[in-house]
Amino acid sequence: MLYNKSIDKFFSEESMLDFSTMIYRIPALLFAITIHEYAHAQCADSMGDPTARYMGRMTFNPMAHLDPLGAILLVVAGFGWAKPVEINPSNFRNRREGILKVSFAGPAANLFLCFLAAFFMTFLNRFGLLSDGVYRFLLWMQLYNVWFAFFNLIPVPPFDGSRIFLLFLPEKLYFKLMKYERYIMIALLAAVWMGLLDAPLYYLNNAVWDLLSAGTGYIDRIAYSVYYAAAGTVV
């Protein structure tokens, strides 16, 4: 797959502190944040909880979903967060099912957007329409969406994975942990800044790209088929 083209080389060329890349990174980041939080809100509403709709979160306007500090850290450090979508599990028709589906909705939407970016990158490349700027934007789309999907499944507050964790912990213990949410977040940020998570994140990224490459191998075939069909040739 095209997006598997030397990810390490891409990272060595693209620095988080290189502000000249923001023309590609900021739009990609806004797409990732918006689709993630909108998916949470839409799923919660469909499961019977109107909290997100009443709070104006069922919108594709990125300003409704941005957390200023989290967004800045995402741009300059590659690690951050958006404004969480609030839910009231007591409104769900099935509380356990509702929490699970809403928690997974955001990461699933990010992975779907990542697949779309991979498809368009390959498709445009086959037609010779993939400029350097479009390539960088679509690759950042994939990177940010993968990061959003998997970071949010970390089972510590305030990530989505902590909601899933609730289902396997006594509620009293869970809410005791929630009291330390701020400190857990600070510790996690410190670990990222100190490079303590570099090795596991490196292997996780490589594993994710391998899975995406294996799972989207059909994109090349589709792109070739469309190309030859447009050229009037039978594949």
SS3 sequence, 155-217? CCCCCHHHHHHHCCCCHHHHHHHHCCHHHHHHHHHHHHHCCCCHHHHHHHHHHHHHHHHHHCC
Which entry of 14, 37, 97, 181 is annotated as an active-site residue?
A: 37
Amino acid at 4: N
Q: Does the annotation count 14 as an active-site position?
A: no
Which residues are annotated as catalytic? Answer: 37
